[in-house]
Amino acid sequence: MKGRRRFLGHMALSAGAMSLARGVMAGPAESAVVRGGRVVSTWDFGVGANQAAWQRLSTGASALDAVEHGARWAESELCNPTVGRCGNPDREGVLTLDASIMDGDGRCGAVAALEDIDHPISVARRVMEDTPHVMLVGKGAQQFAMAQGFRRQRLLTPEAEQAWREWRERAKYEPQINVERNLTPGNKENHDTLGMLAIDRDGRLAGACTTSGMAWKMHGRVGDSPLIGAGLYVDNEVGAATASGVGEEMIRNAASFLVVELMRQGRTPMEACREAIARVVRKRPEASRSLQVCFLAMNRHGEVGAFALHPGFVYAVCDADKQDTLRAADAVYDGAAA
Ligand code: SD4
């Protein structure tokens, strides 16, 4: 059938037993307002980031404090080639970091193409709280960070530099991200933004998104993660959404905003993410065959849903009941454009 999409899989996995297994999509999202709060994050390392956030959330901190804390964990403790200080550089060998943070009351801040500062999420929060602006980029963002007391330091790790040198040998620019068939040892790490959404015990929402962006990107390229509405959007009246995958597709569709607006129209988080994926495919069916796009959403009741264009996307959920739940949310597109 023309335009038909086959959506597969939604299952809970324990962190230890994580695999890319898929099953039949679960029915309605969990019901009931979460008591004591909940935090959700993209990818398997979301488990660790959630636990860091949960330390705050469980002691009564705001959702905003919790997501900043969780994102800081990913930026410094994780040492992942796509987030924070261990990130892979761009094609010129320069590591640039992007981050955004948003409170459910509409306040937000972001930094893009930030160099040599190891906590972009906290700089983004300072932009939100200490400037009349929403976003600072490049040198200006770095100057602002230093004026705020952040230390300038060389972040590029020897491993990331070596990976860049090897990439340069091949000099093949293929921004394919985490599509299952591409998960070979050579390219499996070219993905993995941390997108985190939280609801606190008072029902306030917040979100954070932090990344080194696509490995080997053009110097100056900015993805969706620091763009409010593309990589992250939060509204206390409705819910929150974040994204991972090829940022250009999220930007084209104002995708996180779209997911929140679909929830405002009555969709569940899962339905909203699924519809946003369908929108991405409809816009660029050819590109959609090889690029990964993943959405994670939580509504104001703490119900969670996620969808990805291709298999491979996992996300982590943490609340008072369980701190290490990992779930797969897969969608497979198998038809022409609608
Ligand atoms: C970007 N969305 O810079 C990020 C990269 C990413 O999983 O999420 N990778 O386009």
Which residue lies with its CA nearest to atom 3 of ligand 1? Answer: 213
100: CB partners within 8 A, 6+ apart: 108, 109, 110, 111, 124, 135, 208, 209, 210, 225, 226, 227, 228, 231, 232
- Res. 1 pLDDT band, cuts 50 70 90: very low
**Count of other CB atoms within 10 angstroms of residue 322:** 11
How confident is the model at residue 21, as a pLDDT?
29
CA of 244, closest atom in ligand 1: 8
Task: Count each helix (H run) and each strand (E run) in the chain, helices first.
Answer: 9, 15
- C-beta 177 within 6 A of ligand 1: yes
Q: Is the dihedral of CA 300, 30, 9, 99 positive or negative?
A: positive
CB 127 within 8 A of CB 111: yes
Q: Tens digit of pLDDT for each residue in 14-49?
A: 443 333 323 223 333 444 457 889 999 999 999 999
How confident is the model at residue 333, as a pLDDT?
55
How confident is the model at residue 329, as a pLDDT?
72
Residues counted in the chain: 338
- C-beta 109 within 6 A of ligand 1: no
CA of 222, closest atom in ligand 1: 3
Name the maximum alpha-carbon separation found in the chain: 58
Which residue lies with its CA nearest to atom 10 of ligand 1? Answer: 247
Q: Tens digit of pLDDT for each residue in 67-122?
A: 999 999 999 888 888 888 888 899 999 999 999 999 999 999 999 999 999 999 99
Domains and CATH numbers, the chain: 39-332 (3.60.20.30)
Ligand 1 mean position, distance from CA 69 (Å): 20
Which residue lies with its CA nearest to atom 8 of ligand 1? Answer: 244
- Continuous segment of H or E residues that includes residue 305: strand 304-308
Cα(290)–Cα(270) distance, integer angstroms: 22
Q: Is 325 a catalytic residue?
A: no
- C-beta 191 within 6 A of ligand 1: yes
- C-beta 192 within 6 A of ligand 1: yes
How many alpha carbons fall within 13 Å on the CB side of residue 239?
A: 33
CA of 247, closest atom in ligand 1: 10
Which residue lies with its CA nearest to atom 5 of ligand 1? Answer: 213
How confident is the model at residue 137, as a pLDDT?
98
Q: Which of 183, 193, 218, 221 to mutate to test the pocket of ligand 1 (most atoms within 8 A of CB)?
A: 193
Interior CA angle at 280 toward 96 and 46, to 5°? 50
Ligand 1 mean position, distance from CA 35 (Å): 32
CB 198 within 8 A of CB 71: no
Q: Tens digit of pLDDT for each residue in 214-268?
A: 888 999 999 999 999 999 999 999 999 999 999 999 999 999 999 999 999 999 9
> What angle do the packed helices 63-76 and 46-57 form, to 10 degrees?
140
Q: How large is the average pLDDT for residues 124-135?
A: 98
- C-beta 104 within 6 A of ligand 1: no
Q: Which of 96, 193, 210, 211 is catalytic?
A: 193
Q: Tens digit of pLDDT for each residue in 311-338?
A: 889 999 999 999 888 988 755 555 433 3
Q: Which of 90, 178, 191, 194 to mutate to test the pocket of ligand 1 (most atoms within 8 A of CB)?
A: 191
- C-beta 225 within 6 A of ligand 1: yes
Q: Which of 246, 251, 256, 310 to mutate to test the pocket of ligand 1 (most atoms within 8 A of CB)?
A: 246
